[in-house]
Structure 1
Amino acid sequence: MLSALSIRDVVLIEALDLDFGPGLGALTGETGAGKSILLDALGLALGARADSGLVRNGAQQAVVTASFDLPDDHEAAELLVENGLEAEPGEPLVIRRIVKADGGSRATVNGQPASAALLKELAPHLVEIHGQHDDRGLLNPRGHRALLDAFGRIDTQTAANAHRAWRAAEERLAGAVADLENAARDREWLEHAVAELNALAAEAGEEEALSTARADMQKGARLAEDLEAVTGHLDGSEGGAAQLRQAARRLDRIAGEHPLLAEALEALDRAVIEAGEAEDRLTAAKEALAFDPDRLEEAETRLFELRAMARKHRVEPDALPALAAELSERLGRIEAGGEGIARLEAEAAAARAAYLDAATALTEARGTAAARLDAAVAAELPPLKLDAARFRTAVEPLAEAQWGPAGRDRVEFEISTNPGAPFAPLVKIASGGELSRFILALKVALAEEGAARTMIFDEIDRGVGGAVASAIGERLTRLAARAQLLVVTHSPQVAARANAHWLIAKSHDGTVTRTGVTALDATGRREEIARMLSGAAVTDEARAQAARLLEAA
């Protein structure tokens, strides 16, 4: 609800502070008094273009501050949080807009800097302004589907969930197809690589073992002569080992003759044993370092193949077995990919069918709600002097490319103003007065579904009077039971029904013209309504008629 509006130096308004309450509020005054300035000022706070022409002559800047009392869970609070601004629970939402005479402007929301774009985004959640040339709100077809859904209390979540599931299934399918296409382009390479790796049949640790064996054989070739010479010194009847054993046998026969001979025999026995161990190790070394040209060539060839394959695939030789397994798995996925695609296609088809079922149910529900809304609006038209007009809610199918979470329907409110005339959008064929009355009829029929908590009607009663004006007043009163309404009016029948009444008037001090707004008490209201009835000269009869209107309201 709009709770307060403060205006400084806007056109003819020097300083103005207004407090608003719930219900229906009327703003009246003579033509040209400046009622539009109030709406321009409020529009500035709601993100309208910052025109330096709004700054009062002689002032450096114009300032408008609008305060709104909103529930803690209001969507405006969520919007502020999304934009990084703080919204204090229980505190009013305060929008301040400053326009400088040189054309610059700035805005704050709850004292925090904000952009004009954010103000525009907040505006439809705070105030609806319906005027002669308004192209927003009920006149904007983009909002008609949501209004119809709210009117019919239609479940749209089922279709939204089904659409989300369908889109997700389609994305999975598209991703799998793309992966398969990319992999298929590599299939020939993969087949060749897997065949090469499988033919090579590399084993983990094989490169190190081959490298060690090759090095040993190369050492054996270099040490062969020395090894043969050492073996010659030890082997044979004349070799060192045989001589040691013969010496030990002869010493054994005489060792008992003297302790030193026994000790010498012990040492010689140890030498025989060590010589035997040396012979064993020498034999083992000769076997390990045995030089076989064929074996060396085989080892070097295998080692070259392993290292060449590793360089080709940019891995270490020990990683070749794992690489072979990985590429084989990729190749296997390609060969089995058709089965996976078929499964994902089936899932996407099932999800699409589920969405179509939900969207069809949504279309049927909208058709039923549209018939109810058409009947409700039709009942409101005759009292508003729109007897010849017809209203319909067009529910038409969208192209598949436009299907979405809200279903596959386009919804638009249309009218035909004369018998036999074709239906067309409201804004295209209704005159100013008719348009305002159509909006009022729609608002009453929709029972404020989807509306902001504050609605402003600008001269909705233009060009009508008598019973029609009374019908407009009665419907505004009904709407005001659900929301805050402010109406700029020239109709005494409408003004008489207001819960609060403000008079807008110009004043002159000889050099400066100012627009002021006065909150009227009971006596002031009767006098203003009498003026609206009789014109410039207020008669006693007009005062009596004004009193009757106020009593009837």
Structure 2
Amino acid sequence: MLRALEIRDILIIDRLDLAFQPGLNVLTGETGAGKSILLDALGFVLGWRGRAELVRSGAGQGEVIAVFDLPPGHPAREVLEEAGLDAEEDELVLRRVNTKEGRKTAWVNDRRASGEVLRRLSDTLVELHGQHDDRGLLNPKGHRTILDDYAETQEERAAVRTAWSARSAAARALAEAEAAVEAARAEEDFLRFAVKELDDLSPEPGEEEALDIQRRRMQAAARIREDIARAHAALTDGAEQAVGDASRWLEGAADGAEGALDTALAALDRTMVELGEAVSGVEACLDGLSFDAGELEAAEERLFAIRAMARKHQVESDELPRLRAELSARLEALDAGEAGLGGLRATVREADAAFDAAAATLSAARAAAAGRLDKAVSAELAPLKMERAVFRTAIEPAEPGPEGRDAVYFTVATNPGAPAGAINKIASGGELSRFLLALKVCLAERDRGVTMIFDEIDRGVGGATADAVGRRLAQLAEGGQVLVVTHSPQVAALGAHHWRVEKSVADEVTTSTVVSLDHAAREGEIARMLAGDTVTEEARAAARALLAG
């Protein structure tokens, strides 16, 4: 409920403090007194898009503050929590300032907030209805939600959203798998050829380094083996023979030398031993340097093949085994992906079927509720002197989505035999007002907790029809709050609270103010609305009769 509205320096309003009440609040006043300015100011603090220049002439800035009751469970609390704003208080204070330069700043419970947050809050706080309403019942985008709320399809809508989410997830998974398979298929020939090449080569980690060492060793062996062989021949064919001959000759002369050759003989004995060890070492080396020429050729061929493969794939030689495993895995994924697509397609078909079933259930609930709503609105049109008008809720197929596959919009035909059309295009001003009012009465339960504002919704009607409009407005206000800007005395007389908007000029400055009327003042205001500038006693008597009900 809107509890208070404070306006400072907005258009022709200097300073205004209003305390609204539950029930039906009526605002009256002569044309041009400033009633629409109140709605402009309220729309400004709620973030609605309206006049570009609102600041009163001569003022530095304009300011509007709106205070709403915020009972537990109010939908505005969810908006506050999502915006990171305080949702614990039992009231909601919106404040917005507009400088003369056009800069706008907003606060929600003393915390800075954006215009978008204000607009989201306003959707939970206020509904404006009138001939130029583009936020409420005249907006076809909201007709499906209105019908769903009337039909109480919360469970059906939740089932559709769940099914749509599952359907979307299955479709995404299939699309991703198909894209992956398509990308893999584009390189399938390359993968199969590359994997076969690597399989045939079958490189091992560290193999390139080992082959290079082996190759260099065999190349070195070829160069030094000839010298080692000559040394072996010199040792075995020359040195051993010479030492052996010398030893025998000295041994034959040793007896006559009386010990002088003993040292020499001992040295020759040691030499023979060392020569034997040298020969053994050289022979061992020769054995180690022995290799088949084909072995060197084979080692070089494999080394060059590994290096060529590494260059081809632009990796290090030791990375070839990893590359082989990676390409093999991609090839396996391609083969597996082809097989897996069938399963994913089956999942999509199942999800489609589940969504179709849930959407069909929701569509059936909407169709049934549409019939009930049409009957309820038709029943309300008769007292509003539109018993021959026809209201229909049209449901047409639409693109599937999380809200089902129905497009919903309200149509009307104002005269028998006349073609039906969109509610915001067919009805005249007065007719439109009554269509809206009839629909709002039928949807009253949906609007508990929302302040409903009707801007001259009774325009173009009078007498008994105006009285019927007023009574339905009063009915809507039971247990809630309705604000109505009206020129109809019948409607004004049914208000629980009455304000008069007045305009005055002082020192060539025009200002607008709002006065709360007591019972006597209400009688005079309603008499003025009945009689015009000259209030007669007959008009006062008629006003008293209207107030008496």
Q: TM-score, normalised by structure 2?
A: 0.87
CA shift at 1:7, angstroms?
A: 1.1
CA shift at 1:452, angstroms?
A: 6.7
SS in 2 for 1:408: strand
> Contact 1:7/1:15 (CA < 8 Å) preserved in 2?
yes
CA shift at 1:199, angstroms?
A: 1.9
In structure 2, what is the equivalent of residue 255 of structure 1? none
- Whether 1:19 aligns to 2:16 is no
Q: Distance in 2 between matches of 1:451 and 1:178?
A: 50
Q: Distance in 1 between matches of 2:283 and 2:480?
A: 109
> Contact 1:165/1:351 (CA < 8 Å) preserved in 2?
yes
Alignment of 1:141-540 (within 5 A): 141-154=140-153, 155-228=156-229, 231-232=232-233, 239=240, 282-398=282-398, 402-449=399-446, 453-509=450-506, 511-539=508-536
In structure 1, what is the equivalent of residue 2 of structure 2? 2
> Contact 2:489/2:530 (CA < 8 Å) preserved in 1?
yes
CA deviation map 1:332-358 (0-9, x unaligned) = 333343322222111111111111111
Name whichever of 402-411 and 291-300 sits farther off: 291-300
SS in 1 for 2:446: coil
Q: Distance in 1 between matches of 2:372 and 2:135?
A: 24
In structure 1, what is the equivalent of residue 28 of structure 2? 28
CA shift at 1:325, angstroms?
A: 3.1
Name whichever of 319-328 and 20-29 sits farther off: 319-328
CA shift at 1:230, angstroms?
A: 5.3
Counterpart of 1:24, as a letter, is: L
CA shift at 1:77, angstroms?
A: 4.2
CA shift at 1:227, angstroms?
A: 3.1
In structure 1, what is the equivalent of residue 138 of structure 2? 139
Q: Distance in 2 between matches of 1:75 and 1:2?
A: 15
SS in 1 for 2:22: coil
CA deviation map 1:249-268 (0-9, x unaligned) = x9xxxxxxxxxx9xxx9xx9
CA shift at 1:175, angstroms?
A: 1.3
> Contact 2:71/2:90 (CA < 8 Å) preserved in 1?
no
> Contact 1:52/1:99 (CA < 8 Å) preserved in 2?
no
> Contact 1:217/1:292 (CA < 8 Å) preserved in 2?
no
SS in 2 for 1:384: coil
Counterpart of 1:138, as a letter, is: L
CA shift at 1:419, angstroms?
A: 0.3
CA deviation map 1:397-439 (0-9, x unaligned) = 12xxx21010111000110000011110111011111111111
In structure 2, what is the equivalent of residue 58 of structure 1? 58
Q: Distance in 2 between matches of 1:380 and 1:390?
A: 11
> Contact 1:219/1:289 (CA < 8 Å) preserved in 2?
no
Q: Distance in 2 between matches of 1:233 and 1:389?
A: 132
> Contact 2:40/2:50 (CA < 8 Å) preserved in 1?
no
Cα pair distance change 1:14/1:302, threshold 3 Å: same
Name whichever of 48-57 and 146-155 sits farther off: 48-57
Q: Distance in 1 between matches of 2:321 and 2:126?
A: 71
Q: Distance in 2 between matches of 1:279 and 1:36?
A: 123
Counterpart of 1:360, as a letter, is: A
Gaps of at least 5 residues in structure 1 are 251-260
Cα pair distance change 1:317/1:11, threshold 3 Å: closer
Q: Distance in 2 between matches of 1:339 and 1:52?
A: 62
Counterpart of 1:192, as a letter, is: F
CA shift at 1:537, angstroms?
A: 4.4
> Contact 1:128/1:452 (CA < 8 Å) preserved in 2?
no
SS in 2 for 1:367: helix
Q: Distance in 2 between matches of 1:73 and 1:114?
A: 22
> Contact 1:131/1:458 (CA < 8 Å) preserved in 2?
yes
CA shift at 1:78, angstroms?
A: 3.9
SS in 1 for 2:21: coil
Q: Distance in 1 between matches of 2:278 and 2:449?
A: 105
Task: State, as a whole percentage, how many aligned pairs show the same letter.
Answer: 52
> Contact 2:126/2:453 (CA < 8 Å) preserved in 1?
yes
Cα pair distance change 1:347/1:88, threshold 3 Å: closer
Name whichever of 505-514 and 195-204 sits farther off: 505-514
Q: Distance in 1 between matches of 2:509 and 2:318?
A: 96
Counterpart of 2:458, as a letter, is: D
Name whichever of 465-474 and 145-154 sits farther off: 465-474
> Contact 1:135/1:427 (CA < 8 Å) preserved in 2?
no
Counterpart of 1:522, as a letter, is: H
Q: Distance in 1 between matches of 2:509 and 2:417?
A: 55
CA shift at 1:192, angstroms?
A: 1.6
Alignment of 1:114-125 (within 5 A): 114-125=113-124
CA shift at 1:181, angstroms?
A: 1.4
Q: Distance in 1 between matches of 2:146 and 2:284?
A: 97
SS in 1 for 2:401: coil
> Contact 1:128/1:451 (CA < 8 Å) preserved in 2?
no
Q: Distance in 1 between matches of 2:214 and 2:471?
A: 107
SS in 2 for 1:515: strand
Q: Distance in 1 between matches of 2:312 and 2:524?
A: 100
In structure 2, what is the equivalent of residue 253 of structure 1? none
Cα pair distance change 1:50/1:30, threshold 3 Å: closer
SS in 1 for 2:383: helix
Alignment of 1:41-80 (within 5 A): 41-49=41-49, 51=51, 53-71=53-71, 73-80=73-80
SS in 2 for 1:505: strand
Counterpart of 2:503, as a letter, is: K
CA shift at 1:157, angstroms?
A: 1.0
SS in 2 for 1:349: helix
> Contact 1:530/1:546 (CA < 8 Å) preserved in 2?
yes
Q: Distance in 2 between matches of 1:209 and 1:162?
A: 61
CA shift at 1:288, angstroms?
A: 3.3
Counterpart of 1:449, as a letter, is: R
Q: Distance in 1 between matches of 2:275 and 2:21?
A: 119
> Contact 1:29/1:505 (CA < 8 Å) preserved in 2?
yes
Name whichever of 157-166 and 227-236 sits farther off: 227-236
CA shift at 1:173, angstroms?
A: 1.2
In structure 1, what is the equivalent of residue 254 of structure 2? none
CA shift at 1:52, angstroms?
A: 5.7
Gaps of at least 5 residues in structure 2 are 252-261
Q: Distance in 2 between matches of 1:283 and 1:170?
A: 77
> Contact 1:448/1:482 (CA < 8 Å) preserved in 2?
no
CA shift at 1:312, angstroms?
A: 1.1
Q: TM-score, normalised by structure 1?
A: 0.86
Q: Distance in 2 between matches of 1:136 and 1:172?
A: 39
> Contact 2:203/2:321 (CA < 8 Å) preserved in 1?
yes
Q: Distance in 2 between matches of 1:551 and 1:289?
A: 130
CA shift at 1:390, angstroms?
A: 0.4
SS in 1 for 2:454: strand
- Give the count of matched residue pairs: 528
> Contact 1:232/1:239 (CA < 8 Å) preserved in 2?
no
Name whichever of 25-34 and 373-382 sits farther off: 25-34
CA deviation map 1:284-314 (0-9, x unaligned) = 5433332543221211111000111112112
Name whichever of 111-120 and 402-411 sits farther off: 111-120
CA shift at 1:444, angstroms?
A: 0.9
In structure 2, what is the equivalent of residue 89 of structure 1? 88
Name whichever of 127-136 and 58-67 sits farther off: 58-67
